[in-house]
């Protein structure tokens, strides 16, 4: 039988950060993961360059049944703390946009950095190991992992959410929560492309692959970023962002020329360039195929001089206030994160400890704290892992 102060299940962003901090405090730490390699989501994140934090991180960038829960951890471990760690390891980085920081070279550098830090504090890593039993003992927990019995005083669930099952994502943290009576807020795929019904897809067929800067709204929430038409519906940053707020049965509104008064633009063109086709005028502000699609489906096939105000207004509406009802999302198969998770009401916001079960902790994506696109989810993983590492 092997005994540890701390066992962390999940060698992802949150689990490795927790292991480093607990190890730094002199705790004996074992990290268990069923995957072949640690930090696989870090490796593939940010297109292979890992958007590892966001300098503008604020509580408002997160969704949770209790929006106040994340404040404490986000204050205690800030983007500047992670940047300092990255700098100590001489990893070059740059700001891409909107406070999003990426590695200049490779996301693998972040994984290597975390492994190096773990090794430096003596935290052990056991890969390709599944946990088949967890039981409470008077001192803490006893686990069967990879056929061996291991015990610990503190057990940390850092096994992430359900997104991308192909990469080894499981609902394991939720199962453990259920076993110990810890409530779980209903989960759903988030930061995920949205899908349209077949008849709409057929009408939009020629647009697959077309990208446009857009302002996308669901209720009072709106995001202004790029949007992409796909063979299944829509994707791109603006859509991924809004997917965390959209619910089945609801509409989204898409403005494909934010900041432009399209009706005025069309009227002005009618005055000054009457011989131009409507599609040509629209292509001043939209990709050509999209401009063409909007003109044709709007019935504006001739010169703009022939279009009356009512038609121009309709066309402007199609560009600036396209209301569309997605039928669903691409699901966990492609979702970047899982919305919902372990109910924060059950956790101590300073330590991530389950209030009712001494020695049990949940961190990272497994918890009902979900960030926007843009490095916020890793910042939550680092912050929650760091706080837990100070307590276990």
Q: What would the x/- binding string for ligand FDA be over residues 329 to 348, using CB under 6 A?
A: -------xx-----------
Q: What angle do CA 345, 72, 92 make, to 5 degrees?
A: 125
Q: What would the x/- binding string for ligand FDA be over residues 169 to 188, using CB under 6 A?
A: -x-x----------------
Complex with ligand FDA: residue 97 or 199, whichever CB lies closer? 97
Complex with ligand FDA: residue 164 or 212, whichever CB lies closer? 164
Is 160 a binding residue for ligand FDA by CB under 6 A? The answer is yes
The residue length of the chain stands at: 392
Complex with ligand FDA: residue 158 or 281, whichever CB lies closer? 158
Is 7 a binding residue for ligand FDA by CB under 6 A? The answer is no
Complex with ligand FDA: residue 262 or 367, whichever CB lies closer? 367
Is 365 a binding residue for ligand FDA by CB under 6 A? The answer is yes
* Strand (E) or helix (H) holding 185: strand 184-190
Q: What would the x/- binding string for ligand FDA be over residues 77 to 116, using CB under 6 A?
A: ----------------------------------------
What whole-number distance in Å separates Cα of residue 67 and Cα of residue 60? Answer: 8
- Total Cβ atoms within 10 A of residue 114: 26
- Pair type for strands 148-157 and 360-362: parallel
User: Among 72-80, 236-244, 293-301, 374-382, which window interacts with ligand FDA (CB under 6 A)?
Assistant: 374-382
Complex with ligand FDA: residue 64 or 377, whichever CB lies closer? 377
Distance of CA 260 to the CA centre of its chain: 30
Strands of the 100-103 sheet, one edge to the other: 51-54, 100-103, 93-95
Number of alpha carbons in the 13 Å side-chain half-sphere of residue 46: 29
Rounded least distance, CB 208 to ligand FDA, Å? 21
CA distances, 281 to each of 114, 208, 213, 268, 278 (Å) = 53, 22, 18, 10, 5
Given a contact cutoff of 8 angstroms between Cβ atoms, the answer to whether 154 and 321 are in contact is no
User: Among 36-44, 75-83, 254-262, 273-281, which window interacts with ligand FDA (CB under 6 A)?
Assistant: 36-44
Residue nearest to ligand FDA (CB): 12
* Strand (E) or helix (H) holding 219: none
Q: What would the x/- binding string for ligand FDA be over residues 119 to 148, using CB under 6 A?
A: -----------xx-----------------
What whole-number distance in Å separates Cα of residue 358 and Cα of residue 188? Answer: 29
- Which residues of this chain interact with ligand FDA, rule CB under 6 A? 9-15, 32-35, 40-41, 44-46, 50-51, 130-131, 158-160, 163-164, 168, 170, 172, 336-337, 364-365, 375-378, 381
């Amino acid at each position: 039988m092997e005994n540890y102060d701390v066992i962390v299940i999940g060698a992802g962003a949150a689990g490795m950060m927790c292991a480093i901090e607990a190890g730094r405090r002199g705790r004996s730490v074992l990290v268990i993961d069923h995957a072949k390699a640690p930090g696989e989501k870090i490796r593939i994140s940010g297109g292979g360059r890992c958007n590892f934090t966001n300098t503008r991180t604020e509580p408002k960038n997160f969704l949770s049944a209790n929006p106040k829960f994340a404040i404490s951890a986000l204050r205690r471990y800030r983007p500047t703390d992670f940047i300092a760690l990255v700098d100590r390891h001489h990893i070059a980085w740059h700001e891409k946009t909107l406070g999003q920081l990426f590695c200049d070279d490779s996301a693998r550098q972040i994984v290597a950095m975390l492994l190096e830090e773990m090794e430096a504090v003596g935290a052990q890593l056991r890969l390709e190991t599944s946990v088949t039993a967890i039981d409470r003992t008077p001192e803490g927990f006893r686990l069967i992992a990879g056929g061996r019995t291991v015990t610990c005083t503190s057990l940390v669930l850092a096994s992430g959410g359900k997104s991308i099952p192909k990469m080894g994502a499981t609902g394991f943290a939720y199962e453990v929560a259920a076993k110990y009576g810890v409530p779980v807020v209903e989960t759903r795929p988030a930061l995920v492309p949205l899908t349209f019904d077949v008849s709409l897809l057929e009408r939009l067929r020629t647009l697959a692959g077309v990208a446009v800067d857009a302002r996308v709204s669901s209720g009072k929430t709106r995001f202004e970023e790029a949007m992409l038409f796909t063979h299944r519906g829509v994707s791109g940053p603006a859509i991924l962002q809004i997917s965390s707020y959209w619910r089945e049965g609801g509409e989204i509104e898409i403005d494909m020329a934010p900041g432009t008064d399209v009706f005025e633009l069309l009227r002005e063109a009618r005055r000054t360039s009457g011989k131009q086709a409507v599609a040509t005028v629209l292509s001043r502000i939209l990709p050509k195929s999209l401009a063409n699609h909007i003109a044709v489906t709007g019935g504006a096939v001739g010169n703009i001089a022939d279009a009356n105000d009512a038609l121009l207004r309709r066309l402007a509406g199609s560009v600036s206030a396209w209301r569309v009802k997605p039928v669903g999302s691409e699901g966990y198969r492609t979702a970047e994160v899982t919305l919902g998770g372990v109910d924060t009401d059950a956790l101590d916001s300073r330590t991530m400890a389950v209030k009712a079960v001494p020695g049990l902790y949940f961190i990272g994506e497994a918890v009902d704290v979900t960030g926007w696109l843009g490095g916020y989810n890793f910042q939550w993983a680092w912050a929650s892992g760091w706080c837990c590492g100070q307590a276990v």
